[in-house]
Amino acid sequence: MTPEKAPERVAMDLLESLAEVDVPPVPTAPEFSAGVRRKLHPRLLAAHVAGFALLALPWAAVQFLTVVLAAVRYSVTGTWPSRRGAHARGLEGSRET
């Protein structure tokens, strides 16, 4: 079995190997901006579209369906569905005239 290296020596070996690696030059501003536009913007657009499609559209569909079903019920029975919740109860109390 080979003796294990001390953690300090492993860290120094890593730092020594990194010291020998060539670092590419900093890109110029136009190249950097073009790279950001090419790589980041499509990903941001995809994230926004996915969030809208998965979160906002289902919520809007449920709200729309609730109103449509209430309108159908009103057409059939002639009465609006009763409201639910504490806020709605406060509104029902103010309608009594």
* Spatial contact of 66 and 74, defined as CB atoms under 8 Å apart: no
> Mean pLDDT, 10 residues at a time, over the chain (97 residues)?
60 80 86 87 93 93 93 88 60 51
Instruction: Give the Cα-Cα-Cα angle 6, 10, 20 (nearest 5 degrees).
Output: 155
Q: Are 55 and 45 in contact (CB under 8 A)?
A: no
Residue with tokens 């950097």: 32
Domain boundaries, the chain: 28-80
State the pTM of this model.
0.44
What pLDDT shows up at residue 52?
93
